[in-house]
Structure 1
Amino acid sequence: MTAGFLEQLQKRYGNHQYPGDRQGGAAGATGQGEPSTRPGNFMFATGIECSYPTIDHGKTRRDELEECHHYQRWQKDLQLVKDLGLNVLRYGLPYHRIHLDAGRYDWSFADEVMQEMQRLEITPILDLMHFGVPDWLGNFQNPDLPIHFADYCAAVADRYPWVRYYTPVNEIYVTAKASAKNGVWNEQLKSDRAFVTAMKHIVAASILGTQSLAQRRPDLVVVQSESAEYIHEACSVQSQEVKLLNKLRFLSLDLLYAFPPDADVCMYLLDNGLTRAEYDWFMAGEPPGYQVMGNDYYGRNEKILLPDGTMCQGEDVFGWYQITREYYNRYRKPVMHTETNVLDAEKASCWLWKQWVNVLRMRQDGVPVLGFNWYSLIDQIDWDIELAEKKGTVNPCGLYDLERNPRPVAQAYRDLLKEFGQMTIVPHGEMFEVTSQPARLKIEV
């Protein structure tokens, strides 16, 4: 009887040591190992908390870079990023300190930090507006904001032409809501009209700023960071108010991506100050550059409205996967998990892995998730009360504490990177390395 093919292979090669592999082709890479600097590598990142809204009706500036000692320890912080094995950093330049007046800038701090990032080969996702504006611009009710912000974006791109990745405005919806609807920051107003005014000014600023960036960097990648929110109403009769709120969470991205809002949202906008001409301007088309829809998810983003009118936290009823899937189905943009943490250091490691499993499941279901970011590198101050008062409470949500000592979640992130750090942005992405070609409108087939 003729020997089987396995016996023939053994005779020829011995113990099956023949050319090739059985792990997917080429060198048989599994995706394990610290992230590489190859352009097709999945974007594992952290961020440095940089919020700077005002409270006390403009009298007090909450500058997290100052309160968390980054201005003094920025070199150490950047080195910690590399020590973790990361090459990507969401980083916010202090807009309120740099833009001194129309056409006047102070680059002294920014130049030092950006030069060190280049030396360390850190790829920044540069955040240009994070919950606040310079004192001379007042607040988000100022209609001059979009023009001045576009000038600032142009100045940044001219000064740092090597930067490709930007978040022009962080969490537009949260910025407008906290400043003009909930009365916590900046203008501290509490009206629908003020909310709509802030929303249209901030989105317009993001659009004009993106245009300024793309004129100088045609291959621009915009990683929009927006809060992934949802309210579950635990009532037998669903209220129109909550139905509208669950639609308004899309408003910033609807205006940014020229996605026509539902009729009730349009009526709400027109009733509260958005003109038809302004609406048509937003719907003309989305901004230039490659657009990535970043979704931020904290357990407190998801809430349950109880029959007595109180709210309780609803983390993981839907979770990042379900909520972000809604956003993806609406806009069909590549996705990044742009922010997450938990305010309890003992739960942080488990939370990290839960969020990562969400990312893996999303990718398995065919949604292009390009990156993941634990936010932030260092503990934060007073985010348990959304910076509403200057109490100085340390929120132990960082990979490192304020003394720059690692928390357990830092080791958990290292373990995650060791297991997944060299996976590609898209499966088989090594065949299609990211190029420096100018961005083009996407072809839909």
Structure 2
Amino acid sequence: MPQNFLSHIKASFGDGHYAGDEFGGAAGHDGRGLPTGSPSNFMFATGIECSYPTIDHGRTRRDQLAESYHYERYQEDLGLVRELGLKVLRYNLPYYKIHQGPGRYDWEFADLAMAEIQRLGLTPILDLMHFGVPDWVGNFQNPELPVHFAEYCGAVARRYPWVRFYTPVNEIYVTARASAKDGIWNEQLKDDRAFITAMKHITAASIMGNQQIAKYRPDCVIVQSESAEYIHEMRAVQSPDIRLTNKLRFLSLDLLYAHTIDAEVLLYCLDNGMTREELQWFMAGEPPGYQIMGNDYYGRNERIIKPDGNWCSAEDVLGWYTMTKQYYERYRKPVFHTETNSFNAKEAECWLWKQWVNVTRIRQDGVPVVGFTWYSLLDQLDWDISLAEKRLAVNPCGLYDLDRKIRPVGESYKMMIREFGQITMVPHGELFEISPRPASLKVDI
């Protein structure tokens, strides 16, 4: 009886466990293990809450870094990031404290924190404006903001040339809305024209800041964190105001990425002070560098308005998957899940895993998600009232509490990172690395 090909292979090479298996294939790496810091690693991250808007018509500055004692405990806090097994950190240098005036800077704290980040081998995604500006700039109605902020961004890029990842302005839409439409922060206005003015100035500041960063770091990666929101109106006839609000959530990214603006939104912009010249400037093209679209999603981002006008939370009706798919199909950018948490400490673990299921599912469906962030490292203060009053009530949403004791969600995040920490940003991403290490297959999720 003639021998089959398997007999010949077995005689020559043995019965399985062939030479070469260790370099990939059936015996290759499946993605488990802590992140290595490899450029192809999926970017598991956390952030240190750093908001600093003013309230009380400029009389009170809400600095969450100060309120959480980060300035005094920054070394301990950065060490907790390493303790979790993370390599990536969304981190803010407090613009309002550093930029003392045109051409004048106070780098004392920034230098200490950045040196510690570098010593620990962390990759910072450097956040340069987080809901506030220096007192001498005033507020977001100041048309000089883009020039002053661009100068600051260039100074940061020159001082820390080893930094590649940046978020020039965190949540442009939320900043403009809370400051000029909802009347909560900074200029505290409730006016359509003021909202569009703030939107123009903040987006232009982000673009010009991005230009200056690229001048000193041409390979910069810009992770634009923006809030993914939606209002579900439970009325037979949709109201024009809610319809417009649901469209306005895209405006900051439309301006940032030079995307065609919806006709209704365009008319609203022109009616409220945006000029044709300004619009043409925004539509001239995208800012430089590699652009990643960060989508922030909390269950409270979705709301239901009932026929009687009362509101309730719509947590997970669309969810991060569906909302991010809408943004991805509009802009076609790589995606980063840049913020999520739960104010309910008992439900936080489940919320963490639900968000990760959303990430893995959308990746399986072809959307390139390159990172995930639980925000934030520590509990926050007064975010249940959007920082509108200084009550200093603790929101137990951190991976650690304010005594720096790990919460159950922190232990769960550790488990997630150990299980998935070596998956790649995109399937087979290790293919594009030039390194002396042997090849390895990473799980495709």
Structure-2-length-normalised TM-score: 0.95
Alignment of 1:293-372 (within 5 A): 293-372=293-372
Corresponding position: 1:231 with 2:242: no
Quick check: 1:293–1:333 contact (8 Å CA) kept in 2?
yes
Query: Which amino acid is 2:145 matched to?
Result: L
In the alignment, which residue of structure 2 is the partner of 1:159?
159
Q: Kindly state the Cα deviation for residue 11 of structure 1 after the two structures are TM-superposed.
A: 5.7
SS at match of 1:295: strand
Cα pair 1:302 1:314 within 8 Å, conserved: yes
In structure 1, runs of 5+ residues without a counterpart are 436-445
1:387 and 2:401 matched: no
Amino acid at match of 2:418: K
- Distance between the aligned counterparts of 1:90 and 1:60, measured in 2? 25
Tell me the distance in 2 between the aligned counterparts of 1:7 and 1:395. Answer: 66
Residues 7-65 of structure 1: CA deviation (Å, up to 9, x unaligned): 66556666533334499639601000001111111111000000000000000000000
Distance across 2 between alignment mates of 1:120 and 1:417: 18
The DSSP-based 3-state class of the residue aligned with 2:333 is coil
1:52 aligned residue:
52
* Alignment correspondent of 2:414: 414
- The aligned residue for residue 129 of structure 1 is 129
SS at match of 1:81: helix
**Residue correspondence of structure 1 range 244-259 to structure 2 within 5 A:** 244-259=244-259
Partner of 2:220 in structure 1?
Answer: 220
Query: Could you tell which deviates more after superposition, 23-32 or 8-17?
Result: 8-17
Structure-2 separation of matches of 1:270 and 1:18: 68
2:136 is paired with a residue whose SS is helix
Describe the SS at the equivalent of 1:52: coil
The corresponding residue for 2:65 is: 65
In the alignment, the residues of structure 2 paired with residue 17 and residue 67 of structure 1 have an alpha-carbon distance, to the nearest angstrom, of 58
When residues 26 and 98 of structure 1 are mapped into structure 2, their CA distance, relative to the original with a 3 A threshold, is farther
Do 1:257 and 1:285's aligned partners in 2 also have CA atoms closer than 8 Å?
Answer: yes
* Rounded Cα–Cα distance in structure 2 between residues aligned with 1:23 and 1:142: 58
Map 1:156-305 → 2, pairs under 5 A: 156-305=156-305
| Residues 405 and 74 of structure 1: CA distance in aligned 2, closer, same or farther (over 3 Å) | same
Q: How much has 1:6 moved relative to structure 2?
A: 5.0
Q: 1:37 to 1:225 in 2, by over 3 A?
A: same
Go from structure 1 to structure 2 and tell me whether the alpha carbon gap of 1:433 and 1:9 turns closer, same or farther (over 3 Å shift): closer
Amino acid of the residue matched to residue 74 of structure 2? Answer: W
- The 1-side partners of 2:65 and 2:420 are apart by 31
Match of 2:443 in 1: none
Deviation at 1:118, TM superposition (A): 0.8
Separation in 1, partners of 2:372, 2:188 = 32
Q: Distance in 2 between matches of 1:397 and 1:8?
A: 61
Compute the displacement of 1:164 (Å). 0.4
Structure 1 counterpart of 2:36: 36
1:269 to partner: Cα distance: 0.2
* Contact 1:9/1:16 (8 A) holds in 2: no
* Separation of aligned partners in 1, 2:433 and 2:167: 22
CA RMSD of aligned residues (A): 1.6
Distance 1:113 1:290, change over 3 A: same
After TM superposition, which residue ranges in structure 1, 4 or more long, deviate above 2 angstroms?
Answer: 1-27
Amino acid at match of 1:338: T
Change (3 A) 1:366 1:94: same
Bigger CA drift: 213-222 or 7-16? 7-16
Deviation at 1:277, TM superposition (A): 0.6
Counterpart of 2:187, as a letter, is: E
2:440 is matched with which residue? Answer: none
Deviation of 1:5 after TM superposition, in Å, equals 5.0
Local SS of the residue matching 2:208: helix
* Per-residue CA distance 1:301-320 (angstroms, 9 max, x = gap): 11111111111111110000
The separation in 2 between residues aligned to 1:25 and 1:212, in whole angstroms, is 44
User: Could you report, residue by residue, the CA deviation over 1:347-394 in whole angstroms, capped at 9, with x for unpaired residues?
Assistant: 111111100111111110111101001100010000011000011110
**What letter is aligned with 1:344?**
N
For 2:336, the aligned partner's letter is: M
Post-superposition offset of 1:431:
1.1
Contact kept? 1:176, 1:198, Cα under 8 Å: yes
Matched residues in 2 for 1:285 and 1:221: separation? Answer: 17
Q: Match of 1:346, SS?
A: coil
- Look up the SS of the partner of 1:397 in the other structure: coil
Aligned with 1:76: secondary structure? helix
Partner Cα separation in structure 2 for residue 118 and residue 140 of structure 1: 33
- Alpha-carbon separation, structure 2, partners of 1:113 and 1:339: 22
Q: Is the Cα–Cα contact under 8 Å of residues 23 and 30 in structure 1 kept in the other structure?
A: no
Distance 1:213 1:17 in 2: 50
Percent sequence identity over aligned pairs: 69
Counterparts of 1:102 and 1:26, CA distance in 2: 60
User: 1:137 aligns to what SS in structure 2?
Assistant: coil
Q: 1:329 and 1:90 mapped to 2: Cα distance?
A: 25
Partner amino acid, structure 2, of 1:360: T
**1:175 partner SS:** helix
Paired residue secondary structure (1:222): strand
Structure 2 unaligned regions, length at least 5: 436-445
Residues 402-437 of structure 1, C-alpha deviations (whole Å, 9 max, x = no match)? 0000000111111111111000111111111399xx
- State how far apart, in whole Å, the 2-side matches of 1:67 and 1:5 are: 71
Q: Once the 2 structures are TM-superposed, how far is the Cα of residue 191 of structure 1 from its aligned partner?
A: 0.7
CA distance in 1, matches of 2:58, 2:319: 35
Secondary structure of the structure 1 residue equivalent to 2:204: helix
Cα distance between partner residues in 2 of 1:27 and 1:15: 15
Shift of 1:156: 0.4
